Structures are given as structure tokens and as C-alpha cells.
Amino acid sequence: MDVGLFGQYVMNGLMLGMMYALVAVGFTLFFGVLDVINFAHGDSLMVGAFTGLATYLGLRELGVVWPAVQVPVVLAAATAAMAVAGALIARYLVLPLKSAPALNTLLITLMLGTVLRESIRLFYPAGANPKPFPALLPAGAVELGNFSLRADNMLMLSAGLVVIVAVHLVINRTKLGLAIRAVAQDEETARTMGIDFTRIVLVTFAIGSALAAFAGIMNGLYYNEINFGIGLLLGVIGFSSAIIGGLGNIYGAIIGGFLFAALQTIGAVALPFASAYKDVFAFAVVILIMAIRPTGLLSEKVSERV
């Protein structure tokens, strides 16, 4: 294979992997602190992307046309909005069902995802149609044969890496992170030590939902288009990535995200009709991995939860 073309495939895989990893980390955080799967997480990503688009359109109406201002404001608005939404979901939908069967939480978050998706489709102006997402990042590129090193891709990868490192530092180097890990490991002991369980759950859901919004903005910038259905596939892929990495392990979720993107890339290169079969190939391999290693690639750190 041409080296430049191979490099292009690697870059595409890295971009997809970063988005999947961010979504997968959210699933892992939710499961870690409360043992729940939030199936509205993918649709939170979609709402975050539309929030970012609406913010951009509002800035343009106000005459703010400088990308250096637009990008941070769009990111801040999308992540803040979804952080608040995530905390509200935890407070009013998930926590009240804490003692109920797990199936109840799965069902209510699944229905919530449908509500979010249909709300955008019905109430966002022409929400049923795909929306062009503005190209807010520099469009320059360095051409190396068949390999095009795009400035916007490098900026997004760098930003995603910064976010992942920031999450790592928060979880492992701060009192908040210590409290999150304590709640994840043993809720009752954490309560006994004076940790505000409800506050930690709300903050964790806020962080996970903000990560989804960040991934949604990345998706819009990468494809220059969003639609009300993007959360469906990205949610399933993010959940699958968290599962194959080891649900409850943040680093496993990150590895799972990049692994799933690598499988898609391999499928696109190796199979005929690549665009049609790459997802089928990736999910088939995930099924095989789960059959061989039901607990995921990375073992949980404790016997019950991480």
C-alpha cells in the first residue's frame, strides 16, 4: 500500500477514535459511580452539536465573525449546556430510580434519548434535514504524496488529547476525583467518610455529558454536517467501545474507542464496498472479542465496580 495513503487512513482512524473515546469515557463514568447505563448519552452528543450550531448562528447574527472568538464560545456553550442537562438527568431521572431494577433506568434513558432526538427533529428549524456545520478551524494542509496533514484535524486531535489528559488529572490528582473514585469503589463507605453522594453523582454526569458535547462539536467540525440522528450510531459505538475496553475502566474506554475506529478503518481498506461493510466488520469483531473476553480487554480494578 502507498505510504501516504496508509498515513491518511491512520489519521482518519485517530480522528474517529478520539470521538469514540470521549463518548465511551462518559458511559464509563456513569457506570462507575451509579452502576447505570445512560442510553440517552449518544443523543446528548447530538443535542450538544446542535447547541454549538445554534450558538454559532447567534454569534453571526450579533456580528461576531472571528473564529478565534467563535470556537471557544461554541465549545463553552455546548459543553456547559450539556453539563447542566447531564446533572438534571441524574438528579430527576436516574437518582430517583436508584433502588429500582436496572431495567427501569435503561428504559427511561432510552425513552429520554428518543425525546431528545424527536425534539430536535420537530422543534429545531427544519430539524429533520441535515445541517451544514461551519468550518471554524484553519483549512490549511501539508500535502505529502497521497497524505494530507490537515491543520483542523491536528487541532481537533490535540484538543481531544488535552481533554482526555484533563479528565485523567481530575480523576487521579484532585479531591473531586478522589471522591468520585471512592463512590465508584464503595458507595456506603464513601458516605460514611462524609462524601456527598448526590453531589458526586451530579458532577460525574455533568462531566460525562460535557465530554459528549465536545465529541459532538468535533463530529460537526470533522464532517461539516450534523443531523438529528447522529447520536444513535455514535452512542452505540461509544457504548461498544466502553464494553470492549472493560466497562468501568476509563483507560479501557479510551483504548476501546481507538480500537473500534481501527476496526472500521481496517474494514474500509480490506473489504469490498467499504462504506457499506466497515461498520458490520467492526461490530462483528466486537462480538467476537466479547465472546472471548466477556469482561472486556482491561480487568476491573475491584471485584464489584471501578
DSSP notation for 94-162: IGGGTTS-HHHHHHHHHHHHHHHHHHHHHHSTTTTS-EEPP--S---EEEETTEEEEHHHHHHHHHHHH
Residue 17 backbone phi and psi in degrees, to 5:
-60, -40
240: in domain:
yes
What is the count of structural domains for the chain? 1
The pLDDT of residue 306 is 38
303: in domain:
no
Which neighbouring-strand residues pair with 148? 143
32: in domain:
yes
CA angle 146, 149, 153 (to 5 degrees): 135
224: in domain:
yes
pLDDT in tens, 221-254: 999 999 999 999 999 999 999 999 888 889 999 9
**pTM of the shown model:** 0.93
Domain containing residue 255: CATH number: 1.10.3470
The pLDDT of residue 299 is 59
Whether the per-residue pLDDT at 44 is higher than 80: the answer is yes
301: in domain:
no
189: in domain:
yes
263: in domain:
yes
Percent of the residues in the chain that have a pLDDT greater than 90, as a whole number: 72
235: in domain:
yes
Whether the per-residue pLDDT at 141 is higher than 70: the answer is yes
pLDDT in tens, 254-304: 999 999 999 998 888 877 665 668 888 899 999 998 888 888 887 554 434
The residue segments making up the domain with residue 119 are 3-127+135-292
How far is residue 40's CA from residue 38's CA, in Å, rounded to a whole number?
A: 5
| C-beta neighbour count of 158 within 10 angstroms | 11
3-state helix, strand, coil in the chain (%, to 5): 75, 5, 20
